[in-house]
Amino acid sequence: MKIYIHTKFQESIYQQFRDGLEPKYEVIFGDGEVSESLKEQFLTCDICYGNVPLDWLNTSSQLKWLQLNSTGLDPYQQLTEYQFQLTNLKGFFGQSVAETTLAGILAVYRRIDELTRLQTKNEWVGTPIRETLHLLHKAKVVILGSGAIGLKTKQLLSGFECKTTVLNSKTISQLADYLPTTDILIATLPETKETIGLINKTYLDMLKPSALFVNVGRGSAVDESALIEILKEEKILGAVLDVTEIEPLPTESPLWNLPNVLLTQHSSGGWAEESAEKVVFFLNNLAHFEKGEELVNNVDLVKGY
Amino acid sequence: MKIYIHTKFQESIYQQFRDGLEPKYEVIFGDGEVSESLKEQFLTCDICYGNVPLDWLNTSSQLKWLQLNSTGLDPYQQLTEYQFQLTNLKGFFGQSVAETTLAGILAVYRRIDELTRLQTKNEWVGTPIRETLHLLHKAKVVILGSGAIGLKTKQLLSGFECKTTVLNSKTISQLADYLPTTDILIATLPETKETIGLINKTYLDMLKPSALFVNVGRGSAVDESALIEILKEEKILGAVLDVTEIEPLPTESPLWNLPNVLLTQHSSGGWAEESAEKVVFFLNNLAHFEKGEELVNNVDLVKGY
């Protein structure tokens, strides 16, 4: 049996794959590269880890299982017919993304961004900054999306005694009722037909002046021009953005220099042990595969999740 | 009856005092100033809000109750004899300080400080920063001090499933047993004879390379030279310091420019409604005073708390 590891990792992670795989497996490391010769090797493999180019999949007949290196499914939704099992990393990033969500909210509320800038200048401000700080205590929070990120975020907020409402595709129609009293709106939405552009100007205009907007899902969920406008005009307190319409964020984007925006550069899913735990996840799923058991995080591309 | 308000507040807060006080009270606002004529006015007052100079108290015979504007008691521990009741703001800052504690920890773990610096330069780093991030999830935390700040911090950490140990004056002798496995050491200690210099070089040297040190109590609790040394040599992950030995922190302190230090400039006790809620606290205590009831946060200077 041959396994193709497409994702580029550090050498220590490749060694972790080797150590974890029985000798019966032949393993090929593509190191993130795309070439005709690598594609040919891929086409001889039974199992693949990583997000290979879409056209490799269209011509594969040997592949029995593809484990994605992501929660997101794009561009694989475009596959109309496929014979292999497909699994993703759904839930894998929940804790990490939720922690950056809390870090971002607290950074804005407790002015960590401003204190960092002052530190760069050896500038003591002390007491006057105190009256610009906010408390998360008992804040009214609306979380869009009831996946792992949404539910983990709700859990992290519990110690702060927040009044948290989680809206999913079934309850999203209630959003307008909540927005005028929402302190923090957190989008954790995946990209689907229904979520693209969901957070439009009408919704954004309903937020109160002290509201904070957080997006740790996909940039496509929000009308970015409308968001930039209300941030420029200081119609809301600010925004914490892990994701944007275009990534990397273009140098000319006004988001870089708005003082009420904190950009976390799509880092929220990461942590030091991220790669090592991906190997553990894969090897665990491989054990299920060997026994003919159902795989963890099986994806149905027709349903889209 | 005459009330002297020593603390400098905004005019809206003075108005809140006026609105909350019955006409039978004459109220004098000292606006934080110190002069002979203000001292004379103070000496005619029955009640005082705010931390007046120590020598004003030594000569007062009219004063029946002094409500401090702080939790800390210094320099009033030096009063050997006093006839008035003394109350402080113990517990008042618990939520606020605990929130900055979490904000600071998460800023270090999720690299919010570095992301802020990158944003200043319109510089996208993206994926490579991910492997430098840490999770607070299930971290081993030791909190020194079981007052309002310590207990609130423990509560805020609960959603992160941290293993939190709170040590107080009765259990502090166990500290050395915990340090080698501690991920985060949080000092929330008041300044007393017992706490000055408590966190010495011996203790600091027991911390592991991935450990984070947080001080939101008093700067005097830690041997600052020893702390600077281990931070310079990167023997621990970093430090979040709301307090330092000298405040404002002198421009020449190496703490300003250490990349593994986050300075929150003694802002942790603050929030937008801080002053307004102090007035509410005072007026509530005044109602107790009028009825001859026990005051909230009565301090015994002999005991020191």
Angle subtended by helix axes A11-20 and A274-290, to nearest 10:
20
Q: What is the pLDDT of residues B280-302, one digit of tens each?
A: 999 999 999 999 999 999 998 87
Return the pLDDT at B81. Answer: 84
Q: Distance (Å) from the C-alpha of residue A183 to the closest C-alpha of chain B?
A: 15
Q: Assign residue A104 a region (left: φ > 0; alpha: ψ between -120 and 50; beta: otherwise).
A: alpha
Return the pLDDT at B59. Answer: 87
**Touching B: A residues 19-78, CB under 8 Å:** none
Concatenated DSSP letters of chain B: -EEEE-S---HHHHHHHHHHS-TT-EEEE-TT---HHHHHHHHT-SEEES---HHHHHT-SS--EEE-SSS--TTGGG-----SEEE--TTTTHHHHHHHHHHHHHHHHTTHHHHHHHHHTT----GGGGGG----TT-EEEEE--SHHHHHHHHHHHTTT-EEEEE-TTTGGGHHHHGGG-SEEEE-----TTTTT-B-HHHHHTS-TT-EEEE-S-GGGB-HHHHHHHHHTT-SSEEEES--SSSSPPTT-GGGG-TTEEE-TT-TT--TTHHHHHHHHHHHHHHHHHTTPPPTTB--TTTT-
**Touching B: A residues 221-250, CB under 8 Å:** 247-249
pLDDT tops 80 at residue A135: yes
Indicate the pLDDT class of residue A301, thresholds 50, 70 and 90.
confident
Contact A120 B117 (CB under 8 A): yes
Return the pLDDT at A161. Answer: 98
- Chain centroid to Cα B172, Å, comes to 20
Indicate the pLDDT class of residue A74, thresholds 50, 70 and 90.
confident
In the A/B pair of chains, how many CB contacts fall below 8 A? 187
A-chain CB neighbours of B137 within 8 Å are: 95, 99
Query: Do the first three CATH levels of B2-92+272-290 and B94-263 match, i.e. the same topology?
Result: yes
Low-confidence ranges of chain B (pLDDT < 50): none
CATH match of B2-92+272-290 with 3.30.428.10:
no
Return the pLDDT at A4. Answer: 98
A-chain CB neighbours of B133 within 8 Å are: 96, 100, 267, 270-272
B-chain CB neighbours of A107 within 8 Å are: 103, 106-107, 112, 116
The hierarchical CATH code for the domain B94-263 is: 3.40.50.720
Return the pLDDT at B224. Answer: 98
Q: Which residue of B118, B135, B272 is in closest CB contact with A95?
A: B135
In chain B, what are the domain boundaries?
2-92+272-290, 94-263
Return the pLDDT at A59. Answer: 87
Q: Distance (Å) from the C-alpha of residue A92 to the closest C-alpha of chain B?
A: 13
Is B158 an interface residue toward A (CB < 8 Å)? yes
Q: What is the pLDDT of residues A222-252, one digit of tens each?
A: 999 999 999 999 999 999 999 999 999 999 9
Q: What is the pLDDT of residues A78-120, one digit of tens each?
A: 998 899 999 999 999 999 999 999 999 999 999 999 999 999 9
Nearest to A280 by CA among A296, A301, A261, A262: A296
Q: What is the pLDDT of residues A3-62, one digit of tens each?
A: 999 999 999 999 999 999 999 999 999 999 999 999 999 999 999 999 999 999 988 899
Over residues A290-298, the mean pLDDT reads 97
